[in-house]
Amino acid sequence: MKRGHMVVGHPTYDDSGLYSHLTGVPKALLPGTRGKKILDFWWEIVNMRQLFSDVYMVTNADKYKHYERWATANDFPIENVVNDGSTTLEDCLGAVADLELVIRSRKLQDDIMVIAGDMLCEDLNFDIAQVIRFFRSKPGELVIYYELEESEKTSSRGIVEVCPDTHRITQFLEKPVEGRTPSRLATVVFYCIQRGTLSYITDYLNLPPHANDRGFGRFWEWLINEKQVDVFGMKLPTGFQLIGQVGLSDYTKWLTHYSTKQQNNPAKAVTYRSYARVGLMGNPSDGFNGKTIALSISNFWAEVSLVESQTLVLLPHPLNDPTEFGSLQDLFCISRKEGYLGGLRLLQATCKKFYQFCSKQGIALTKQNFTLKYDTNIPRQVGLAGSSAIVSATLKCLMKFYNITDNDLPKPIRANFILMVETEELFITAGLQDRVVQVYEGLIYMNFSKELMDKQGYGNYVSMDMRKLPQFWLAYLSDPSDSGSIHSNIRQRWLSGEPLVVEAMKTFADLTDQARAAILDKDWSCLAQLMDKNFELRRSVYTDGCLGPGNMKMVHLARLFGSAAKLPGSGGAVVGLCLDQAKLVMFNCDIYPCRREL
């Protein structure tokens, strides 16, 4: 981006007498949030020589002196304040003609950014460099949009319909009547235009004149809908109000609204939990286009807290990320039992992937720093999804902090995101099941068939009624091995088409469908038998040596007491269903399904 351009609004008029002290003040020089003038904020945003070679500002003749004085006080080049010669609203050129005037008079031949200088913004900290990077990654123009608040009407804004995959704007509607489009994505005067498209501005102005045709809304409507020029959209997760389009009383209303929202959102901690997962049926076929049933349990959880701070800080956990030891023997014992990899890497990988995801999806994040810390009581390395719980809880905090909605990151995609953090960033062997359950919570039936995964990128996930579930029990090893190792070489054998493995994964899926029917029918005897079959099928494919003596012993002990048992995850724990209540007392280790919703 070599050129920047700012279009400022017209003077303020007081039609009520309540704001006489602001009469005649150009709207861009009205007070904004946090005590700054609206234009001060935008000048701080674009006053970056590494991003822009020049910044221009255009205004009318009537208020030119106001902006000349402002330029002198704020180290803005006076020669870059462009006077369009108009003195009244009746003879004003219009925003598009003002832009053309700057391009023509300054002989601009580079990509440009256009921003309305009288635009009130809810959040003052978004990253304009991220906007430019996204613009450069797309083969077309860029329009910034945001999601309307409930009180805002689509008829007051230019509304865009955006392809969620390509981010291309498929239709632009200037102030459509209510109900014409389901979209509530509103554009603001914040654009990036390629040098090759600048000639369209002149072409547009040469069309037969109409009184309302010189605003940017009609220009983009013409460029996108009629000329079919590729224009892409980027979302800013914040609110905007173009003061040039509202009266003074509306300006004070929005200023109060935005200021109040900032005052009511001090640097307080955002805290979320994600719960351990227990696989009831079908695992480990989730990584092999199979089907599974699993539930989240409230016995164990990971909790992550985020609070705004001056710098970005990731706090190590005193137990899980030790840096001090009592002795060399203490280090040896802790490392042998707990391994070398704590939760800090999970926080860092999630933050890195979150920024990457938002940049790719066209979501410009605010420039806010934070401190992250975590805690967890999920037993480590026993296959209860402890790692993904930390990632999931971290993602919830980041979404809340940056105002990322379910529309920006839908639940099925959220589960994919969590999996990618672990597999792509940390090379953890894993499937989708755990992440789906931790995103949706409760008892979930999951179908990961190849057809579904290829078609939509995720499976079919169905929440089931868990109020009538029988009592399950859970046991786990006190000194487990890394749960990822139990996956052995199964994936390579499956990818090579080994019949034993391929057929086993299909059978896991069949068992899952039978278990779903048993749960719906409340046939717990059938469910117990299916749990045993699930384990025996897994045993036949993975072998006893791969499952390990600890897992085999737990299942053997459970069956001695007449209980069905299987591995709820990758190894290190077993989940059981004992229908004999007298024998169930001997276990004394129930699990409690988690019914919370996000």
Give the active site residues: 434
Residues 409 and 220: their CA atoms lie apart, in Å, by: 27
Residues 277 and 298: their CA atoms lie apart, in Å, by: 9
The region, left, alpha or beta by phi > 0 then psi within -120 to 50, assigned to residue 33 is beta
Q: Within 10 Å of residue 502's Cβ, how many Cβ atoms?
A: 16
Please identify which residue in the block is written with the tokens 């402002």: 70
Instruction: Give the residue among 54, 220, 74 at the shortest CA–CA distance from 145.
Output: 220
Q: Which residues of 290-316 are buried (b: 16+ CB within 10 A; e: fewer)?
A: bbbbbbbbebbbbbbbbbeeeeeebee
Instruction: Give the residue among 205, 231, 208, 206 at the shortest CA–CA distance from 220.
Output: 231
Q: Phi and psi (nearest 5°) for 597? A: -115, 150
Residues 244 and 120: their CA atoms lie apart, in Å, by: 10
| HEC-encoded secondary structure of 237-287 | CCCEEEHHHCCHHHHHHHHHHHHHHHHCCCCCCEEEEEEEEEEEECCCHHH
Residues 286 and 356: their CA atoms lie apart, in Å, by: 26
Decide: helix, strand or coil at residue 470: coil
Write the CB contacts of 560 (distance below 8 Å, at least 6 apart in sequence).
none
Instruction: Give the residue among 291, 582, 536, 245 at the shortest CA–CA distance from 431.
Output: 291
Write the CB contacts of 556 (distance below 8 Å, at least 6 apart in sequence).
none
Q: Helices 411-420 and 344-360 meet at what angle, rounded to 10?
A: 130
Please identify which residue in the block is written with the tokens 């409507």: 221
Residues 177 and 154: their CA atoms lie apart, in Å, by: 7
Per-residue tokens: 554? 């737990």
Instruction: Give the residue among 596, 593, 568, 293 at the shortest CA–CA distance from 445.
Output: 293
Residues 389 and 373: their CA atoms lie apart, in Å, by: 14
- Tell me if 347 sits within 8 A of 317, measured CB to CB: no
Cα within 13 Å of Cα(351), Cβ side: 18
Per-residue tokens: 13? 């008029």
